[in-house]
Chains A and B, each alone.
Chain A
C-alpha cells in the first residue's frame, strides 16, 4: 500500500507541512492519489512557499525583476514621448520576445537543480502527488512573473496621468501577458524536468518560446507559405500553433473563448507532461 506518514519530516520540507497534515487529525494518513481539494491546495501551497523562499532568500527574484523591469520599461520609454500616444501597445508587442528569454531563465532551474542537488528524491517522497509539486513550482514561478508585470504598472499610472487610456484594452493586454507567460512557464518547467540540465532547459524552452512567437510573424509566415504554396505551412502554423494571434486578440482588448481554451489547454498539457515525467522519475 502506497501510504506515507504525513507528519514525517523529510529532507528540506519544513515543519509547516507536518503541522498542516497533523491538523487533519484523524485523516493523518494521506493517500497519494485521490486527494481532497483542500489537501491538494495545501500541498501546492507548501511547494510554492518553499520555491518562493528560494527565490526571495537568494538574489534570483530581485535580479530578475530589476533586470526585466528596467529593460522592458526603458525600451518602452525610449520612444514614448516621441510617439506621444496614450497606449501600451508598444509594451505588449515587445513583451513576448523578452519573455521568451526571461521566463526560461526562471524555469530552467526548477527541476534541473533539484536533480543536480539530488533533492528531487526527497521531494518525491513527500506525501504529495507529482502534480502537486508541479503546480506548486508553477504557482511560485507565476508569482515571480506577476512581480515582473507589476513592475510595468508605473506605465499605466503615467498613461492615466497624461490622458485617458483605454483601460479595458490595457487590462486585456495584461490578461494576455499573464496567459502567455503562464504558457511559457509551463513549457519551461517541462523542459527543465525532461532534460535535467539547466543550460539545455534554458535553450530548449527559449527556442520553443521563439517558435511560438515567430510563427506569428508576417515575414516568417510569408516565407513559409512561399516554400510550399499549396500547403500554406506558414498560414497553418500561424492559425493553429502560434501564440501571436491569440495573444494579439487580448492586446486588442478582446477576450475570446478560443484564445482562453488555447492557453488553458497548452498550460494544462505542459504541466501534465511535467507531472508524467516526474512520475516516471519517481518510479
Chain B
C-alpha cells in the first residue's frame, strides 16, 4: 500500500471511529441507568429523603413543563428540555405514581399559550447570537405544579442554574403548598427598639442576632435579616452576610452617619449633630453605594419636641406618598414616613452593574431638598436660624429608601433606609401605621412565598461554607495545597538518588559529574533570580526618568500641547506651587497605586515642559494636629476607602489630593478613587486656568424626574385609591461627575426655572410637559450669548407581558413628552420627529419587563437586543469636533433623531453641524398608541406606495450656532365649556412663537441637541462599554471652556466602533481572518513537499545521509 493510501485509510478509520463514538455517546446519554452521579446534590438520582417525601404526598401532583422546542432555544439552553425531563422522570419514578408530568410547547398553539399564561407561566427573553450579530428570542421554560385541590404554583424561567437543584426546588414548593411556613426573621437592633420587635413577630419568627465582631453566627434558617443602626462589622460578619444574601436571604439595613441631639439652653432650643459610631459606610461600600456627604434638609419636614414644644426641623425629612415608588415591591406603602438626619445613598452605577445589582429608589426627598455642611457646633432651632433652606445646595430627590435587586434570581435583595427612624418607637406604631405597613411590605417582598421556596432549596444544596481562618492558617493551607505534592516528589527523588548504588564503572564519573551538574544548575538558578531582580530594579529606575515615545495617533500617552501652553502661560508671571498630598504607598489601596504613579509622572512631565512649577510633597500621615487642621481648612480631609484583600475588608483613611497655589489663589483637586485619576491632565490644566483667571465655570443643570403617563397613573394607582409616584432623581451621577471635574453646579427645577445669572452653561436633561416656562428661559439664556445642551428623547420602551396575550412580550413606547417637536426648535429649523426610531446597528442592554399577573405588576430584569437599542459608533462621529474627540461608542437606547430644515436654518442665519449619526440602516414607526407591531421590529414597513426603504443616516446629535431669538410661549388654551353656548373668545393677536426683533440684541452662541437622555441616567452613565460620562464631559468642556481646555478634556484612549456590516460580509471576514494564513501555510507545506520530491530541500545544507543526524532529523 502506498503511503498516501495508507493515510487515507487511516483518516477514514479515524472519522468512522469518531462518528461511532459520538453515536454511542448520544444513545447512552438518554439512558439514565448508564449514568452515575457522584455529587452531593444529584440531578437525576432521587435521594432517600426526597423519595420518602414524594411517597408521602397527600394528593396527586401533576407538573406541566411549558417549554419551547429545542430548535427555538438558544445554544446554551438546547439541552434544557432533556435535562428537565430526566429530573421529572426520576421524581415520577420515585413517587410511586403520585407525581406525573407532561410537556407542553406553548408556541404550537395560541390558545395553549394563553392557558399557560392564565396559570402564571411566562416566557423570558434570552440573548442569542445570530450570524455574528446580537439578537434576542422569547422562550418558554416554566413549571406549573398542581397539587391536589391547592392553588397551582409556578416556577418560571427554569434554566441551567435551577436545574442543579430542581428536585429540591419542587419538593420545597410542595412543602410550602402543603404547609405554608412563616419567614424566620433575624434582627440585629439596639434594645431600645421594642415596637419593631412586636411588629416583626406579627409577620414571622423573630431571632435576635448580634452582628458585633465575635458574636454568634446568623442562624442558618433565617430568611431575612434586619440590621438597624449597623455597628462596626468585621471581615467574618461581612463574609457571613454575603453568604446569607448569596443563598437568597433578604437584607434590610437602616442607619445614618449622623444623629441629632437636642437641648434647651436659656429657653432656646438647640440641636447638635454627632457622628454615629457605626459601620454604615463599610456596609454601603460593600454593595457599591456611598453615603451622600452633608446634612439633608427638606421643605417637607417633621417637627421634633424640644422642651415640650414642637419645632419644625428640616433635617427630619418627611417622605410623602408622591415621593415613594413601591411598584417593585408587593404593594404600595401609601403613608408618609419620617427620616431624622438621613444619609441618602449614592449608587456607583458601574460597580453595581459589574456586581449584578439594579438600584431602585423606593422613596426620596422632595424636589425642594438640599445639602449643607454638617454644623460642628450647636445651632439654634429657629425659623430664621441656620435651618433656612436657602443656605442649602439644591439636591432634589435624594434616595431615602432604596432597594438593590439582583440580576441572579437566587440572590436575595437588599433594602437600605437612610435612617433608623422608621423603626424607632417614637414613630407612630399604632395598628395600620406606616411602620407596620413598611415592615409588612418589606417582609412580603423579600420573603415572598417564591423566595422562601428558593431559599429552602438553596439551603439544602449549599456547599458548607469555609470556616473562618486567620492569615497564618490560610498561608499554611495555601502552601500545603500548592507545595505538598512537589515536596513529596522532591523527597522521593532525593531518597532514590541517595539509595541508588551505581555500577562500579559509573561511580567515578558520577563522583565527578554530580557536583558539577548541581553546581551548574544552582548557579544558573541563582544567576537567573538575581539577574531578573536586578533587571527589574534597573528598568524601574530608568522608568523614573520618563523617557518614552508615544505611537498613538491621538497622542494619548503624552502631554497635550495645549496643556503645556496653559502651564507655561499660567506660570510665566509667577510660579505655581504644586503640593502632592498623598498618604504613604503602603496605606493606599493597591488599585490606586498605579494611577498615583502616573499622576506623579504627569506632573513631572509638566514641570519639564518649561512650566515653572514648584513641586513639593506633604506627608499627611505624619502631620501634627495643627497642620491637619490647616489642611482641613483648605478643604483637604481624608477619605475613607474600602478595599478587600483576600477575605478581609479594610477601611482605610487616606489622603489623596493635589493642592495648587499661585499667589493668593488656591485650587484643591481631590482624587478619592482610581476613576478620579482618569481625566487628571484635564483637571490639572483646568485648575491652572482657574488659578490664572480666577474664574470658576458655573453649570446650571436642569432635570425633571421621570413620571408615569396619566394613563399609567390612573391604571396602576388612582383606580386603587393610591397616589402615583412623582419619580426620583435619575441624573445624580451626571451632577456628581461635573462637580468632581471642578465645575460649580446648580440644580434648576424646570417647573419653576431660575437659572443663575452667572451660569456659563445650561444643561437640560429630558424636557417634559409642561416645559414652556423652561423653554422660554432657555431661549433667553441662549439669546444672551450663553450656550446650552438639551438631551431628550420621545419614548422609553417598556416590555410588557399580559396573561390575556399569552404572556408574550409586547413593547409599549412610553411617551416622555419632551415637546421639542412643537416648541422653539421647529421654528429654528430643527425637527425632532415624534416617531420610534430603529437601527440595525444595535447592541445589548439590560431593561425591565413588566409582567402583569391580574392587578399585580412584577418587574423582571432581562436583556434586550432589539433595533431600538441603538448603538452610535465612533465611525459615525464628526471627525473635526472637540466634542467627539476621545469619545467611544454611545448607547442611544430608545433615542430620537433630528431632521434639519436647511432653508429655515439659513433664513434664521443659524448653522447646524451634525456630530453623531446613526448607521444607514434606520427606519421609524409613527406611533400613535398601543403596542408596537411585531413586524416593525424586523425592518422597515412598506410605505403607502408599497416601497420599502431605509431612512439612511440620521442625526443623533447636532451643534447649532448663531444668534438665537427670544421665544414667546403659546397662549393658554381657552377654558373648556360644558353645555350651552361658549362665550365668544376675546379678540387675540395671532400667536407668533419667535421674537425675531430680538435677534438684533442677541449674542452668538451654541446649542447642542442630543437625541437621547437615557444614556445620562445613573444606570447607564458609567457603563463600561458606552461611556456617556465622556460625552457629557466633552459637551460641557466644549461649550463652557475655551478650545484648548475642551481639547484636553477629550484626550483619552477610547475604543471606536465600526459601521453596520451585513451578515454576509461578517462571514467573509471571519473566513479570511481565521482561514487565510493557515490555508496559505498548508499550500506552502504541500508545495515544498512536492518540490522536495523533485529537488533537494531548499534548506538542505548537504545531501542527507544516515550518518548526518542533524540533517536527517528534519526529514519528513
Once bound together, how far apart are the Cα atoms of A276 and B531, in whole Å?
Answer: 14
Q: Are the CB atoms of A227 and B475 closer together than 8 Å?
A: yes
CB of B988 within 8 Å of the partner chain: no
Give the residues in chain A near B1061, CB-CB below 8 Å. Answer: 81, 162
Question: Within B1060-1094, which residues are at the interface with A (CB < 8 Å)?
Answer: 1061, 1066, 1069-1070, 1072-1078, 1081-1082, 1084-1085, 1088, 1092
Closest chain A CB from B844 CB (angstroms): 8
Q: Are the CB atoms of A53 and B1114 closer together than 8 Å?
A: yes
Closest chain B CB from A255 CB (angstroms): 5
Q: Are the CB atoms of A57 and B1115 closer together than 8 Å?
A: yes
Once bound together, how far apart are the Cα atoms of A11 and B1111, in whole Å?
Answer: 9
CB of B1108 within 8 Å of the partner chain: yes
Q: Are the CB atoms of B1116 and A57 closer together than 8 Å?
A: yes
Closest chain A CB from B995 CB (angstroms): 45
Q: Are the CB atoms of A261 and B1109 closer together than 8 Å?
A: no
Q: Are the CB atoms of B1116 and A86 closer together than 8 Å?
A: no
List 16 other contacts, CB 8 Å, given A54-B1110, A227-B475: A15-B1102, A49-B1099, A49-B1101, A73-B1073, A77-B1073, A84-B843, A89-B1055, A150-B1077, A163-B1056, A166-B552, A222-B590, A226-B648, A227-B471, A230-B586, A255-B550, A280-B520
Q: Are the CB atoms of A253 and B590 closer together than 8 Å?
A: no
Once bound together, how far apart are the Cα atoms of A143 and B1073, in whole Å?
Answer: 21
Q: Are the CB atoms of B1053 and A57 closer together than 8 Å?
A: no
Question: Within A248-283, which residues are at the interface with B (CB < 8 Å)?
Answer: 249, 252-259, 261-262, 265-266, 269-270, 273, 276-277, 280
Q: Of B488-496, B540-548, B782-790, which stretch is located at the interface? A: B540-548
Give the residues in chain A near B1082, CB-CB below 8 Å. Answer: 62, 66
Q: Are the CB atoms of B551 and A168 closer together than 8 Å?
A: yes
Give the residues in chain B near A261, CB-CB below 8 Å. Answer: 535, 538-539, 542
Once bound together, how far apart are the Cα atoms of A146 and B649, in whole Å?
Answer: 46
CB of A117 within 8 Å of the partner chain: yes
CB of B732 within 8 Å of the partner chain: no
Give the residues in chain A near B528, CB-CB below 8 Å. Answer: 190, 269-270, 273
Q: Select A58's contact among B1057, B1058, B1115, beta carbons within 8 Å.
A: B1115
Q: Are the CB atoms of B543 and A50 closer together than 8 Å?
A: no
Q: Which of A87, A169, A221, A230 has the most CB of B within 10 A?
A: A169
Q: Select B524's contact among A89, A225, A277, beta carbons within 8 Å.
A: A277
Question: Within B1022-1081, which residues are at the interface with A (CB < 8 Å)?
Answer: 1053, 1055-1059, 1061, 1066, 1069-1070, 1072-1078, 1081
CB of B595 within 8 Å of the partner chain: no
CB of A151 within 8 Å of the partner chain: yes
Q: Are the CB atoms of B645 and A222 closer together than 8 Å?
A: yes
Q: Are the CB atoms of B593 and A227 closer together than 8 Å?
A: no
Using CB atoms, name the residue of chain A closest to B1066.
A81
Once bound together, how far apart are the Cα atoms of A273 and B535, in whole Å?
Answer: 15
CB of A69 within 8 Å of the partner chain: yes
Q: Of B163-171, B553-561, B798-806, which stretch is located at the interface? A: B553-561
Give the residues in chain A near B645, CB-CB below 8 Å. Answer: 222-223, 225-226, 229
Give the residues in chain A near B1072, CB-CB below 8 Å. Answer: 154, 157-158
Q: Select B1113's contact among A56, A113, A277, beta carbons within 8 Å.
A: A113
Once bound together, how far apart are the Cα atoms of A249 and B535, in whole Å?
Answer: 17
CB of A35 within 8 Å of the partner chain: no
Q: Are the CB atoms of A258 and B540 closer together than 8 Å?
A: yes
Q: Are the CB atoms of B1055 and A253 closer together than 8 Å?
A: no
Q: Are the CB atoms of B1077 and A257 closer together than 8 Å?
A: no
Using CB atoms, name the residue of chain B closest to A245.
B594
Q: Select B1070's contact among A77, A86, A164, beta carbons within 8 Å.
A: A77
Task: Knowing A59-B1116, A62-B1081, A81-B132 are in contact, say whether A255-B540 is a contact too (CB < 8 A).
Answer: no
Once bound together, how far apart are the Cα atoms of A266 and B531, in whole Å?
Answer: 8
Q: Are the CB atoms of B1084 and A16 closer together than 8 Å?
A: no
Q: Select A168's contact among B524, B552, B644, beta carbons within 8 Å.
A: B552
Q: Which of B134, B541, B1101 has the most CB of A within 10 A?
A: B1101
Closest chain B CB from A95 CB (angstroms): 15
Q: Are the CB atoms of B1101 and A15 closer together than 8 Å?
A: yes
Residues of A in contact, count (CB < 8 Å): 95
Q: Select A50's contact among B531, B1070, B1110, beta carbons within 8 Å.
A: B1110
CB of B873 within 8 Å of the partner chain: yes
Once bound together, how far apart are the Cα atoms of A232 and B645, in whole Å?
Answer: 11
B interface residue numbers (CB < 8 A to A): 129, 132-134, 471, 474-475, 478, 516, 520-521, 524, 527-528, 531-533, 535-543, 545, 547-554, 556-557, 586, 590-591, 593, 644-646, 648, 843, 871, 873, 875, 889, 1053, 1055-1059, 1061, 1066, 1069-1070, 1072-1078, 1081-1082, 1084-1085, 1088, 1092, 1097, 1099-1102, 1108-1116
Q: Are the CB atoms of B531 and A74 closer together than 8 Å?
A: no
Q: Are the CB atoms of B1055 and A259 closer together than 8 Å?
A: no
CB of A97 within 8 Å of the partner chain: no
Task: Knowing A81-B133, A269-B535 are in contact, say whether A50-B648 is a contact too (CB < 8 A).
Answer: no
Using CB atoms, name the residue of chain B closest to A254.
B557
Q: Which of B1053, B1077, B1116 has the most CB of A within 10 A?
A: B1077
Using CB atoms, name the residue of chain A closest to B1097.
A57
Give the residues in chain A near B843, CB-CB below 8 Å. Answer: 84
Q: Of A24-32, A36-44, A100-108, A235-243, which stretch is located at the interface? A: A235-243
A interface residue numbers (CB < 8 A to B): 9, 11-17, 49-50, 52-59, 62, 65-66, 69-70, 73-74, 76-77, 81-82, 84-87, 89, 113, 117-119, 122-123, 150-155, 157-158, 161-164, 166-169, 171-172, 190, 194, 218, 221-223, 225-227, 229-230, 232, 234-235, 239-241, 246, 249, 252-259, 261-262, 265-266, 269-270, 273, 276-277, 280
Q: Are the CB atoms of A169 and B552 closer together than 8 Å?
A: yes
Task: Knowing A49-B1101, A58-B1114, A226-B645 are in contact, say whether A273-B527 is a contact too (CB < 8 A).
Answer: yes
Give the residues in chain A near B549, CB-CB below 8 Å. Answer: 254-255
Closest chain A CB from B1063 CB (angstroms): 9
Task: Knowing A50-B1110, A62-B1084 are in contact, say whether A221-B590 is a contact too (CB < 8 A).
Answer: yes
Q: Select A53's contact among B541, B648, B1100, beta carbons within 8 Å.
A: B1100
Q: Are the CB atoms of B1081 and A262 closer together than 8 Å?
A: no
Give the residues in chain B near A70, CB-CB below 8 Å. Answer: 1074-1075, 1078
Once bound together, how far apart are the Cα atoms of A21 and B538, in whole Å?
Answer: 40
Give the residues in chain B near A12, CB-CB below 8 Å. Answer: 1101-1102, 1108-1112
Q: Are the CB atoms of A240 and B1057 closer together than 8 Å?
A: no
Task: Knowing A13-B1101, A58-B1115 are in contact, say whether A166-B553 is a contact too (CB < 8 A).
Answer: yes
Give the residues in chain B near A74, CB-CB below 8 Å. Answer: 1074
What are 22 sample pairs from A and B whose C-beta atoms fall under 8 A apart? Answer: A11-B1108, A12-B1101, A13-B1101, A53-B1101, A56-B1097, A58-B1115, A59-B1116, A65-B1081, A89-B1055, A163-B875, A166-B552, A190-B524, A223-B646, A226-B648, A227-B471, A230-B586, A253-B552, A254-B548, A258-B542, A262-B535, A262-B536, A280-B516
Q: Are the CB atoms of A232 and B532 closer together than 8 Å?
A: no
Give the residues in chain A near B550, CB-CB below 8 Å. Answer: 168, 253-255
Q: Are the CB atoms of B543 and A258 closer together than 8 Å?
A: yes
Q: Are the CB atoms of B1078 and A69 closer together than 8 Å?
A: yes
Give the residues in chain A near B1109, CB-CB below 8 Å. Answer: 11-12, 117-119
Give the residues in chain A near B471, CB-CB below 8 Å. Answer: 227
Q: Select B1101's contact among A50, A151, A246, beta carbons within 8 Å.
A: A50
Q: Are the CB atoms of A82 and B533 closer together than 8 Å?
A: no
Once bound together, how far apart are the Cα atoms of A157 and B1055, in whole Å?
Answer: 18
Using CB atoms, name the residue of chain A closest to B888.
A85
Q: Are the CB atoms of B1115 and A158 closer together than 8 Å?
A: no
Q: Are the CB atoms of B1077 and A151 closer together than 8 Å?
A: yes
Once bound together, how far apart are the Cα atoms of A141 and B22, in whole Å?
Answer: 39
Q: Which of B1070, B1114, B1116 has the most CB of A within 10 A?
A: B1114
Using CB atoms, name the residue of chain A closest to B542.
A258
Using CB atoms, name the residue of chain B closest to A114.
B1110
Q: Select B556's contact among A52, A55, A253, A270, beta carbons within 8 Å.
A: A253
Give the residues in chain B near A82, CB-CB below 8 Å. Answer: 129, 132-134
Task: Knowing A89-B1055, A117-B1109 are in contact, say whether A66-B1078 is a contact too (CB < 8 A).
Answer: yes
List the 5 closest pairs (A to B, CB-CB), nearest first.
Answer: A14-B1101, A12-B1110, A53-B1099, A240-B536, A226-B645
